[in-house]
Structure 1
Amino acid sequence: MNATPIQTTPSLFLRAAWGEDTPRAPLWLMRQAGRYLPEYRAIKERASFWEMVRTPELAAEVTLQPLRRFPLDAAILFSDIMTPLPAMGVAVAFNPGPVVAEPLRSPAQIEALRLPEAAEVAPFVAEAIRLVRRELQGRETVLIGFGGAPLTLATYLVQGAGSKDYEVFRAFLRQEPALAHRLLEKLTELTLRYLRMQVEAGAQAIQLFDSWAGLHDPQTYRTFGLPYNRRVLEGLGGLGVPRIYLAVGASHLYPLIAELPCEVVSVDWRMSLDQVRGFFPNHTLQGNLDPAVLLAPPAVIAQETRKVLRAGRGGPHIFNLGHGVIRTTPPEHVAHLVEVVQQFNRWQEESA
């Protein structure tokens, strides 16, 4: 491809996140820093995942790695949604996904959870943010901080480890609703303190990951998800950063998600953006290329990427994947994707 990328003014990502229908869709990718990059794997040979997350210099380095390869419009801090939980007294390990040594299912366990002050939650995260912002000084690239939504954090804490259907947690919500609400209240306050700390350290946008919201029917989400997400997102209001909400496999919840106080809704690949737009007429949409497309040949990547870009017209759009980069993705395929997005003018009909 020989076309010249569309020129933009500074902070294209922030302009789109605040609701501007920009001529080019800004671009970043969930899990853009990670296992598909050989430079990441080189660090992983000498440090565990948890060590990388908890060592500010390593977390900053991994955050910056994809920016050295690709002209992305935003970086997302290298961390994990489980990061703030040890400060509550929860033992978390990764094998390779998160494992909670003692799942929380009793009143005594949940009452024993402490609520640390913001500065105690994960000070290494704040330091990593400061290091990344220092490196990005003078550039248009925005740094995104993130955390897990209370319902998703509770899913791991009660289930204890990854699961196909998280049936133990879903049963817990029915069997112990009062206890579930107590847990969610504590997680809401922890998440709010953690995310405010990230903004104070320099994060310029915040994404709330509700990875397992889609497991639930609308009434269950209305009871155990919506009010706590609202409290977190409302608590971030007035801090001067756009708020992004992601729920995976949750198209049946879109009418409820539309009630949340956020600027950006990130959607997975299961519905076209032009179908989703009607649920969120006052939001920026983020997404939503199927990550598996990046395993296909370049011509297919270009075709499917343009399909997403065309579907994203009609309102503000931030280009992303519908979920994270798959670890077997060739880096050169990501480079091709970035080139296609940068050369697509959303204000003009695309030439053949």
Structure 2
Amino acid sequence: MRQAGRYLPEYRAVKERYGFFEMCRNPEAVTEVTLQPVRRFDLDAAILFSDIMVPLAAMGVEIDFAPGPVIARPVRTAADVARLRVPEAEEIAPFVAAAIPMVRAATHVPLIGFAGAPLTLAAYLVESGGTAEGFPGFRSWLHQQPGTAHALLDKLTEVTIRYLRTQITAGVHAVQLFDSWAGVHSAAVHARFGQPYAARALAGIGDLSVPRIYFATNAHHLLDQLADLPAEVIGVDWRAPLSAVRPALPGRTLQGNLDPAVLTAAPEVIAEQAREVLRHGIGGPHIFNLGHGIRPDVPPDRVSRLVDAVRSFDREPAAIPGGLR
């Protein structure tokens, strides 16, 4: 999940010099913010600092952040979709491609790139940002204009493939596809408008031989569809234990899934909750992570305590009395 952000004083210092979107488009700022958590904590990887909305600017979308994404001109008609460009790969966020070698040169840990999944990007475009819980307007639009929806999702998928391929070519070691709002849809709607496009985006980078991670929030009713995605790793949010999810995702590495709210608790609570997640992760490959993005009210020392708890955990089942296997 997002490692940098407002919980770090060094991030806030950089933010004083730039607007958020300006910071995303400045390779030096991207490099600095990406490296801040790695310098401070004993982490196994760096996550590229950016935003899922960044590549949409090259499609002709006017974006601002206040603080969340605001789309100046929503995309809701066939004519709106027709106006969107499908830019060449080198036109899509070239500042991201420029920052990746800079980060690689400054740290020995692997670097993870990412993009937004087509269905989630479409939700923001149609609703002009995240204006209402559950995107009711977008969900209605999918039923009202399915042909236009598929045309939009088709363009977004192609741009996502090109953007991820650019990041991989520039040097990231793995990529993650964020489908932040997949879970607001029914299984039937997701099977029609979500899963096929996420699968196509992930398949579109399959020849580049980097691990692919897929993450959706509140999507436990979609596990059978996620199991069919061409991704080596499936991220899981905090709502269900990993041991309950693993049978539905055979052969996959699971990523997750500590509730970010835990990081505001006392250090001993953080350590015990981390161990609980790790116990449930036994039984297959597991990448410990938060179950969603880190909150801005988290004290940095709590993150240090979390890292220490994970580092000290003995994952051998024999070390856990009555442990999960």
The Cα shift of 1:71 comes to 1.1
Query: How far does the alpha carbon of each residue in 1:88-129 deviate from its partner, in whole angstroms, 9 at most, with x for none?
Result: 000000000000001111111110101110000110000111
- Equivalent position to 1:113, from 80, 84, 106: 84
Structure 2 equivalent of residue 23 of structure 1? none
Q: Which amino acid aligns with 1:110?
A: V
Q: Which amino acid aligns with 2:97?
A: A
Structure 1 equivalent of residue 195 of structure 2? 226
Q: Counterparts of 1:263 and 1:57 in 2: how far apart (Å)?
A: 31
Q: Counterparts of 1:282 and 1:246 in 2: how far apart (Å)?
A: 16
The Cα shift of 1:161 comes to 1.6
Dislocated runs of 4+, deviation >2 Å: 348-352
Query: How far does the alpha carbon of each residue in 1:210-229 deviate from its partner, in whole angstroms, 9 at most, with x for none?
Result: 00000100110000011111
The Cα shift of 1:349 comes to 3.7
Structure 1 equivalent of residue 96 of structure 2? 125
Alignment of 1:262-341 (within 5 A): 262-341=231-310
Structure 1 equivalent of residue 8 of structure 2? 37
Structure 2 residue 118 is the aligned partner of structure 1 residue 150? yes
The Cα shift of 1:236 comes to 1.0
Alignment of 1:10-89 (within 5 A): 30-89=1-60
Q: Counterparts of 2:49 and 2:189 in 1: how far apart (Å)?
A: 31
TM-score, structure 1 normalization: 0.90
Q: What's the RMSD between the two structures over aligned residues?
A: 0.9
Query: How far does the alpha carbon of each residue in 1:323-342 deviate from its partner, in whole angstroms, 9 at most, with x for none?
Result: 01110100000000001101
Q: Counterparts of 1:165 and 1:117 in 2: how far apart (Å)?
A: 32
Q: Which amino acid aligns with 2:263?
A: L
Alignment of 1:143-292 (within 5 A): 143-162=111-130, 163-292=132-261
CA contact (8 A) 2:282 2:317 kept: no
SS in 2 for 1:84: helix
Query: How far does the alpha carbon of each residue in 1:122-179 deviate from its partner, in whole angstroms, 9 at most, with x for none?
Result: 100001111101112xx2x110000000000000000112121211100110000000
CA contact (8 A) 1:81 1:148 kept: yes
The Cα shift of 1:77 comes to 0.3
Q: Assess, with a 3 A threshold, how the Cα gap between structure 1 residues 103 and 348 changes in structure 2: closer, same or farther.
A: same
Query: How far does the alpha carbon of each residue in 1:70-100 deviate from its partner, in whole angstroms, 9 at most, with x for none?
Result: 1100111000000000100000000000000
The Cα shift of 1:351 comes to 6.6
SS in 2 for 1:208: strand
Q: Counterparts of 2:190 and 2:76 in 1: how far apart (Å)?
A: 20
Q: Counterparts of 1:348 and 1:209 in 2: how far apart (Å)?
A: 32
CA contact (8 A) 2:275 2:309 kept: yes
Q: Which amino acid aligns with 1:310?
A: R
SS in 1 for 2:207: coil
Q: Which amino acid aligns with 1:91?
A: E
Q: Assess, with a 3 A threshold, how the Cα gap between structure 1 residues 91 and 195 changes in structure 2: closer, same or farther.
A: same
Aligned positions, number? 320
* Worse-matched range after superposition: 211-220 or 156-165: 156-165
Q: Counterparts of 2:310 and 2:317 in 1: how far apart (Å)?
A: 14
- Equivalent position to 2:71, from 79, 85, 100: 100
Q: Percent identity?
A: 59
For structure 2, the residue ranges without an aligned partner over 5 or more in a row are none
Q: Counterparts of 2:320 and 2:137 in 1: how far apart (Å)?
A: 52
Q: Which amino acid aligns with 2:196?
A: P
For structure 1, the residue ranges without an aligned partner over 5 or more in a row are 1-29
Q: Counterparts of 2:123 and 2:318 in 1: how far apart (Å)?
A: 45
TM-score, structure 2 normalization: 0.97
CA contact (8 A) 2:195 2:229 kept: yes
Q: Which amino acid aligns with 1:157?
A: L
Q: Which amino acid aligns with 1:71?
A: D
Q: Counterparts of 2:46 and 2:200 in 1: how far apart (Å)?
A: 26
SS in 2 for 1:238: helix
SS in 1 for 2:54: coil
